Structure 1
Amino acid sequence: MIYEALSCITEEINNSLKRKLQINEDKVILCGLVNQDGSSAIQGENKVIITLINVEKEAAGMGAAKNNAGVFTATAAPVSINLYVLCAAYFSGNNYAEALRFLSFTIAFFQSKSIFSVQNTPSLDPGINKLAFEMESPGPDRLNSMWTTLGAKYMPSVLYKVRMLTFDDSIIKEYRPPIVGTVGNALPA
């Protein structure tokens, strides 16, 4: 569900930029910043990177599941989480002004549309009730700590807290890839 939420938002920003700037290229990508070996995970340059930096359990409404009689049930209550999403402008040195421009476009996008639901975002997964984006303002110490923890060099960026995804066992689905037979090795029916 996290992937579905963030890929949908990435697509929404790209569609908005394509309409407003009359461009064909996707300028926003969903991507990590750094691979496990410390190398850059970003493919290409001159992009706005959307990356998940933290998942937090929502404090409101926490507690064990009780049935109507007030008895604790064996099934766990759904859990609601908040996501911390970083939007970083990864542009080459000669394009610093463009980095700031696209970061501004990203902020303007979330100012004009901070709530996403199936009603105003048809491509949003139907299992997601609502996503609400709130800009965070980390101070210099927290910002330095965040970039150090990420293992990346600072880029012009903005941090959003995304409220809230709710998880229960209904989102767990078994994935079975299709079985493909080779010529001459037909699979029994």
Structure 2
Amino acid sequence: MLDDCLNYLCHKMNESIRTSFDLTEDIVVVSPPTDTDTHGMTSIENKILVFISNLEKDTFSKPGPQMTAFQAGQRSAISNKPLYLSISVVIAAHFSGMNYTDGLKILSHLFAFCHRNPVFNRQNAPDLPETLEQLVLEMETIPSGELSHMWSMLGSRYLPSCVYKVRAVIPNSETILTQVGQLSLTDTNLFKKDA
């Protein structure tokens, strides 16, 4: 699910960049900033990097079981609520030298893209992977001390970047805990299997 989330965001960002800039290759890639092993992989130099810096349960979701009724209240099932995740996603420009300002230009474009498209769901993004029900993007403000700690923890020098809180709903994460109510099987077509 996490890989689908980042890959989908990269796909949508690359689409937006190609419509605005004269580029034919994907410039936004899922990669940590310290990925120096490029054997058989695309180099991360002169790319926009998208990676996860933190994961946590979304605090807006309320824990506890929920009731779901079937057939006019005759039967009901008690299930867990779906899992809501809050993912800290970093979008960073890994450009240097003469290309540094190009990286800033593309990064600015992506900030505007995220501002224009804060929600991806089945209505506005029918190509959303089945493993995702909805993505909500919100820009985060991180104090400079925490920002410095994050980059040193990642083992990288600072890159021009922004952190987005991405709230994701994981479909099919509900589990039926128990069923209550009577079963009424009046007419069955069950026959004993011949040995």
Mark yes or no: TM-score above 0.5: yes
Deviation by residue 1:21-50 (Cα, 9 ceiling, x = unmatched):
132011100112235xxx567824111000
Amino acid at match of 1:33: P
> In the aligned structure 2, how far is the partner of 1:59 from the partner of 1:25?
38
Deviation by residue 1:94-137 (Cα, 9 ceiling, x = unmatched):
22111211110110111111111122222211342221110001
Task: Tell me the equivalent position of 2:102.
Answer: 98
Task: Tell me the equivalent position of 1:45.
Answer: 45
Amino acid at match of 1:9: L
| Structure 1 pair 167–122 and aligned structure 2 pair: CA distance change class (3 A) | closer
1:30 aligns with 2:34: no
Task: Tell me the equivalent position of 2:151.
Answer: 147
Task: Tell me the equivalent position of 2:61.
Answer: 61
> Structure 1 segments of 4 or more deviating over 3 A?
39-42, 66-69, 167-170
- Kept in 2, the 8 Å contact 1:55–1:82? The answer is yes
Q: Which has the higher contact order (CA 8 A, sep 6+)?
A: 2
1:4 aligns with 2:8: no
Correspondences of 1:29-178 after superposition (within 5 Å): 29-34=29-34, 39=36, 43-67=43-67, 76-166=80-170, 168-169=172-173
Deviation by residue 1:162-189 (Cα, 9 ceiling, x = unmatched):
112235447xxxxxxxxxxxxxxxxxxx
> In the aligned structure 1, how far is the partner of 2:33 from the partner of 2:132?
26
Amino acid at match of 2:88: Y
Aligned CA RMSD, in angstroms, stands at 2.5
Relative to the length of structure 1, the TM-score reads: 0.77
| Structure 1 pair 135–23 and aligned structure 2 pair: CA distance change class (3 A) | same
> In the aligned structure 2, how far is the partner of 1:118 from the partner of 1:145?
37
| Structure 1 pair 91–65 and aligned structure 2 pair: CA distance change class (3 A) | same
- Kept in 2, the 8 Å contact 1:118–1:126? The answer is no
> In the aligned structure 1, how far is the partner of 2:80 from the partner of 2:6?
26
| Structure 1 pair 91–80 and aligned structure 2 pair: CA distance change class (3 A) | same
- Indicate the SS of the match to 2:65: coil
> In the aligned structure 1, how far is the partner of 2:90 from the partner of 2:150?
10
| Structure 1 pair 110–168 and aligned structure 2 pair: CA distance change class (3 A) | same
Instruction: State the number of aligned residues.
Output: 165
Higher strand share: 2
- Indicate the SS of the match to 1:132: strand
CA drift of 1:6 comes to: 1.3
Which segments of 5 or more consecutive residues in structure 2 lack a partner in the other structure?
A: 70-76, 175-195
Amino acid at match of 1:55: L
Relative to the length of structure 2, the TM-score reads: 0.75
- Kept in 2, the 8 Å contact 1:135–1:159? The answer is yes
Considering only CA atoms, is the larger Rg found in Structure 1 or Structure 2?
A: 2
- Kept in 2, the 8 Å contact 1:132–1:164? The answer is yes
> In the aligned structure 2, how far is the partner of 1:66 from the partner of 1:21?
48
- Kept in 2, the 8 Å contact 1:54–1:85? The answer is yes
